[in-house]
Structure 1
Amino acid sequence: MIIDTHCHLDDTRFDDDLDAVIERAKAHGVRGFLIPGAEPKTLAKARKIAHTYPEVYYAAGVHPYDINEYDEALLLEHLQDEKCIAVGECGLDYYRLPEDTGQRHEEIAAQKRVFGAQIELAKRVGKPLIVHIRDAGSDSMQMLIDHHAKEVGGVLHCYNADEQLLKLAGHGFYYGIGGVVTFKNAKKLPHVLPKIPPDRIVVETDAPYLAPHPRRGKRNEPAYTLYIVEKIADILEMDVAEVESLTTRNAQRLFKPFATLQMV
């Protein structure tokens, strides 16, 4: 019993075999899927997929790389849909910012404006956040605290083992653990994982990206949650079934519609 809390099933790489991808995942115990909204132009496709498969839900938001496409009216339209259960993925990503100081400051300010708008939007509609953070831990944490994101909570996606972000567990946030934890060269996340409160861990693949070992370099898909769960169990010295049950309960608590799904 596993819930993949972050899988881009609306990506074109799944266009030819989405039925098979979902069936493979279900055969490996995946009972719920959440498509994060990253680009406004793909939201209609995500909605169609969510309404085609009972176990699939989606979110509406704008990734920090696509802030110029932010359209609050469009997001609100989707957030009224019963199968749209979260706002995001949104957040801050400084990884690709230019070195020029002036331009860098402008782009950071723009990302913060759009991220702040989406935090407020989540509070308005009463739905949790899916937060993307890359090389922006301090600013992201401060914004979530300053905007009182605790009112809706959410999950930290692309969590790069920044220990300061553990503070957000006390502000209603969960931590998405994906394929990176299985990488042979991964050091930070296996070190930090035991410090995350167990009731704040959820599983995600980020499919089709970041396939776990031993599938690294291939197209990722929700069935590969099994490798992530196995690695979490190994690091935390727990049974695989215990990790599946724990992370499923956590996902259901955060994304409440998943609690209505048949989990066996």
Structure 2
Amino acid sequence: MIIDTHCHLDNSKYYEDIDKVIQNALDHGVKGFLIPGADFNDLPQSIKLAEKYDSVYFAVGIHPYDIDSYDEKVLEEYINHPKCIAVGECGLDYFRLPEDEEEKKANVAKQKEVFISQIEFAKKVKKPLIVHIREASDDSRQILIDYNAKEVGGVLHCYNASEHLLPLADHDFYFGIGGVLTFKNAKKLVSVLPKIPKDKLIIETDAPYLTPHPHRGERNEPYFTVFVADKMAELLNISRDEIEELTTTNAKKLFKEFSSIS
């Protein structure tokens, strides 16, 4: 059994065939799904799917690209839904910062402010964090430590292979491994993977994005976690069954609501 701990099933790319996508995943042993909150406009679709499928859960939060729409009142509105099990995807992303230096400083400051606000909210409601980090490993690590995110823990989504983030394993953070691991140019992640504590590894797709080999160029979907599991098994020199058991156990530790899924 596999749990896809990060899949944007609320994305418009699934509007035509979402039931088929979920059933295909279930047929291939993917038994749990977590839809991260990235855009408040997608929350109604997340809730619709979570209420329709026992195996689908969702989170509420705002992505670093959408910080201008952040409103904690929206988090408060949805966090008590019985299928809402985490806060995020929140975090820092310095990949597309403005070129103007003053605008860049302002954007980084706003990202940090919104990130910290969501950490504090997660601590208040006692829900784990889904943390997006891109080109911002040092600042992200420091904020998570300084603001005692260890109280709730969480997952580093789409783990970007920075060794600077490995110490967060000691702060109850897990490492989401997705399709990037299968890319030919993923040498850094391939080398770092064995350094991540095995009890902190979980699987994700980031569907519909970052589709793994051999389906590069296609829309990603939760079923494709099987290719991530295969690659993890190969690199860690353990069986596919062990990978599934390990990552599922870890996902259930972090997101306790998945414990009822078998």
In which range does the TM-score fall when normalised by the shorter chain?
A: over 0.9
Aligned pairs for 1:194-205 within 5 A: 194-205=194-205
- 1:41 shift after superposition: 1.0
Give the equivalent residue in structure 1 for 2:177.
177
Shift of 1:153: 0.1
Residue 227 (structure 2) aligns with: 227
**Where in structure 1 do 4 or more consecutive aligned residues deviate above 3 Å?**
none
| TM-score of the two chains, using structure 1 as the length reference | 0.98
Residue 185 of structure 1 deviates from its aligned partner by 1.6
User: Which consecutive unaligned segments of at least 5 residues does structure 1 have?
Assistant: none
Confirm or deny that 1:168 pairs with 2:168.
Answer: yes
What's the C-alpha RMSD, in Å, of the aligned pairs? 0.6
Unaligned 5+ segments in structure 2 are none
* Corresponding position of 1:110: 110
Instruction: Give the 5 Å matches for 1:245-256.
Output: 245-256=245-256
Q: Secondary structure at the match of 1:232?
A: helix
SS where residue 33 of structure 2 aligns? strand
2:95 corresponds in structure 1 to 95
Separation in 1, partners of 2:44, 2:140: 28
CA–CA separation in structure 2 for the residues paired with 1:159 and 1:64? 16
CA drift of 1:259 comes to 0.2
Alignment of 1:74 onto 2:74: yes
| Secondary structure in 1 matching 2:258 | helix
Counterpart in 2 of 1:50? 50
Q: Which deviations, in whole Å up to 9, do the C-alpha atoms of 1:55-79 show, x marking residues without a partner?
A: 0000000000000110111111110
**Deviation readout 1:119-152 (Å, 9 max, x if unpaired):** 0000000000000000000000000001100000
For structure 1, which segment, 38-47 or 206-215, has the greater mean C-alpha deviation from structure 2 after superposition?
38-47
What percent identity do the matched residue pairs reach?
60
2:186 and 2:176 map into 1 onto residues whose CA distance is 16
Q: After TM superposition, give the deviation of residue 158 of structure 1 in Å.
A: 2.3
Superimposed CA distance per residue, residues 189-220 of structure 1 (whole angstroms, 9 cap, x where no aligned partner): 00000000000000000000010000011000
Structure-to-structure mapping, 1:111-126, within 5 angstroms = 111-126=111-126
- The letter of the residue matching 1:135 is E
Give the residue type in structure 2 aligned to 1:212.
P
Query: Secondary structure of 1:156's partner?
Result: strand
Question: Match of 2:227, as an amino acid?
Answer: Y
Name the CA distance, whole Å, in 2 between partners of 1:178 and 1:50: 22
Residue equivalent to 2:16: 16
Aligned partners of 1:17, 1:41: CA distance in 2, in Å?
Answer: 20
Q: Which amino acid aligns with 1:62?
A: I
Helix, strand or coil at the partner of 2:32: strand
Letter in 2 for 1:64: P
Tell me which residue corresponds to 2:192: 192
The reply on whether 1:38 has 2:38 as its aligned counterpart is yes
The separation in 2 between residues aligned to 1:47 and 1:115, in whole angstroms, is 23
- Partners in 2 of 1:157 and 1:45 — Cα distance? 21
Aligned length: 262
Q: Distance in 2 between matches of 1:16 and 1:197?
A: 39
